[in-house]
Every structure is written in C-alpha cells, then in structure tokens.
Structure 1
C-alpha cells in the first residue's frame, strides 16, 4: 500500500465521512429470526439476574 500525503482538512473530512456512514449503519437494526430473538431475550434476563 502506498503512503499518500494529505493535508489536515482532507484527513478530517475523510474521518468525518467514515463516522457518519458508520453511525447510519449502526442505527439500522435488522430484524432477527424469532428463535434468535427469544435466545437474546433469555440471555438478557440471565445477565440481569446475575
């Protein structure tokens, strides 16, 4: 991989864009299959009980 010199403003813009895209992806919550959702609920219950 080559090293590419970019100035501070471009570097900040790239980081900001990556952050915005990650936030958008993380906000989307895919639907889980019912069996997996049941297991996740059970895991949360066990975690809270301990």
Structure 2
C-alpha cells in the first residue's frame, strides 16, 4: 500500500464524513438488551449523584485565569 500524506484540512474533512456516516447508521433505533438498558439507567442515576468537578469559586477558578494566593 502506498504511503499517502494528507494535510490537516483534508484529514478533518475525512474524519467529519466518517462521523456523519456513522451517525446515520446509529440513528436507526435498535432495541437494546434489557441488561444493557439497566446498566445505562444505573449510569444515569450515578451521574446525577456525582459531585461536580468544575470549580465553583469564580475568583480562584482555573477558568478565570487567576490563581489562589
């Protein structure tokens, strides 16, 4: 197989197209096994109980650009 070099713009376009095609295939509703449905529901429940990892204190937040002193 030949070594083909693809620039970043074309690489992203190819990845985008692959993603679009996969999303089209996955849009079709498929009946999930009951065990998988239960696991997904449990994950949703656990996710709702999980504490946020985002800093709440805006003054010293890593997102505000300032640092605690």
Please indicate, yes or no, whether the TM-score normalized by the shorter chain is above 0.5: yes
Larger radius of gyration: 2
- Matched positions, count: 37
Gaps of 5+ in 2: 39-69
Which residue of structure 2 lines up, in the alignment, with residue 4 of structure 1?
A: 4
1:29 CA displacement: 2.6
Question: Matches of 1:29 and 1:2 in 2, distance apart?
Answer: 39
Which residue of structure 1 lines up, in the alignment, with residue 50 of structure 2?
A: none
Gaps of 5+ in 1: 31-39
- Deviations 1:1-50 (Å, cap 9, x if unpaired)? 221111100000000000010001001136xxxxxxxxx78x526x84xx
The list of structure 1 runs, each at least 4 consecutive aligned residues, that deviate by more than 4 angstroms after superposition, is none
Which of the pair has the greater relative contact order for Cα pairs under 8 Å at 6+ separation? 2
Q: TM-score, normalised by structure 1?
A: 0.56
CA RMSD in angstroms, aligned pairs only: 2.8
Question: Matches of 1:44 and 1:11 in 2, distance apart?
Answer: 38
